Amino acid sequence: MNTWLDISPESDFSIHNLPYGIFSTPSRRPRVGVAIGDQIIDLAAVAMRGYFQSLSIEPDVLEQPSLNAFIRLGKPTWQAVRKRLTQWLTEDDSPLQHLRQECFVAQSEAKMHLPLEIGDYTDFYASEAHATNVGTMFRGKENALMPNWKHMPIAYHGRASSIVVSGTDIHRPKGQIMPQNAAQPVFSPTQALDFELEMAAVVGKDTKLGTSLRPEEADDYIFGFVLFNDWSARDIQRWEYVPLGPFLGKNFASSISPWVVPLKALQLFRVEGSKQQPEPLPYLQTSSKRNFNIDLEIAIEPEGERETVVSRTNFKNMYWSVGQMLAHHTVNGCNLRVGDLLASGTISGDEPNSYGSLLELSWNGERPLTINSNQARTYLEDGDTVTLRGYAEQEGIRVGFGEVQTKILPSL
């Protein structure tokens, strides 16, 4: 498809993407927008001029400070809006050409907001390479994976209130830490602050309490995906996690990208997942292409210096698919709601330069990374900026997520 807009071939926001977000300017309160190239289409402004009337979309749905009301309109409406925008962006003499002044905003002039009202967030542990690496460090190679890991997608419920949008700085968290060879814990800022490179699926349809989904139903229940950085304080987590799992070592912050890439935009990039042995129980079995071929990278930028890319990996490496996560999450009757997030867990590849966390990249501090050829990192320092990026590209078609960028500030 060709558009009358001038879009760089390297842009994450091609005509094939059309991701949704919430933006504002000094003259426009927070509202729904769609990214295209370096511009944002103000969907509320388009609706106020009557161009979505035939789709029964009221302008006030698009003037909300989150995408939830729009998502609740349902999959047929999402698809109709996407089809209409694609048509308008590729046809000469379309309404959008005549409304460029009123309905387009430069991304450089807009402020991006958290795109969703997130009621609940679940963090999975679905990368075999990551689970194997962590298990090897703490239990040895022979016991790297717990006995249940290849039978079900392991997960825990995270804290939704501390999820923030890209560009929001976070303060180094404090908590109890048990120093090595000490007899008593101490209260201290974390000395092992880490990132976790993840993707998160956005739930697009409520489920009813007591009902469950099959993996093949994911396409009807997932609105789209965001990049997700699940921050971790490893030393706080190490002391607290037995017997109930993550708490203060994880719930202080998670960061997401401002643009939600629709599931429809990722269909071209579906791939087969890795062979699952032993065969999952029937409720988790699926014959469809389970995974997505999305390139991902992590960069660290010390304050006042240039960034260094420390890892490159791919979302296709996941052992458990999003459809299987949905099926397992609801098999006991747990209900999901529009705007909920299902995060993948850390995405790691098989090679050391494809690991998705500093815990793995520095092998629990034993192998410091070199940043900018003159600085070492085992974990993050104050002033460091961490950036996650992701995009899918095939046959000249590029669909990207932009980035999640966050600076680490000292403890308060």
Name residues of the chain where pLDDT drops below 50. none
Task: List, edge to edge, every strand of the sheet that includes 308-314.
Answer: 170-171, 397-409, 385-394, 295-301, 308-314
Task: State the pLDDT at residue 288.
Answer: 81
Instruction: Outline where 121-245 has alpha helix (H).
Output: 128-139, 218-221, 234-240
Q: What is the pLDDT of residue 374?
A: 86
CB of 319 within 8 A of CB of 124?
A: no
- Mode of pairing for the β-strands spanning 170-171 and 397-409: parallel
Q: Return the half-sphere exposure (C-beta side, CA atoms, 13 A cut-off) of residue 159.
A: 14
**What's the CA gap between 253 and 226, in Å, rounded?**
16
Domains, the chain: 20-113 (2.30.30.230), 121-409 (3.90.850.10)
| Helix (H) / strand (E) containing 360 | helix 358-361
pLDDT given at position 372: 87
- Name 301's Cβ contacts closer than 8 Å, sequence gap at least 6: 307, 308, 384, 385, 386, 387
Separation of alpha carbons 347 and 198, rounded Å: 6
> In this structure, are residues 137 and 364 in contact, taking their beta carbons and an 8 Å threshold?
yes
- Using CA atoms, how far apart are residues 219 and 216, in angstroms rounded to an integer? 7
Place of tokens 């993707």: 199
CA distance linking residue 74 with residue 126, whole number of Å: 28
Under DSSP, the state recorded for 91 is: S
Residue 117's pLDDT is 98
Active site residue 130: yes
Residue 397's pLDDT is: 96
Which amino acid type is present at position 393? E
Dist CA 391 CA 393 (whole Å)? 7
* SS3 per residue for 274-341: CCCCCCCCHHHCCCCCCEECCEEEEEEECCCCCCEEEEEEEHHHCCCCHHHHHHHHHCCCCCCCCCCE
Q: Report which of 144, 160, 148 is spatially closest to residue 254, judged by C-alpha positions.
A: 160
- pLDDT computed for residue 106 by the predictor: 98
* Residues 353, 357, 358, 364, CA torsion sign: negative
How many residues are listed for the chain in this entry? 412
pLDDT at 153 (0 to 100) = 98
Given the residues 113, 130, 151, 157, select the one marked as catalytic: 130
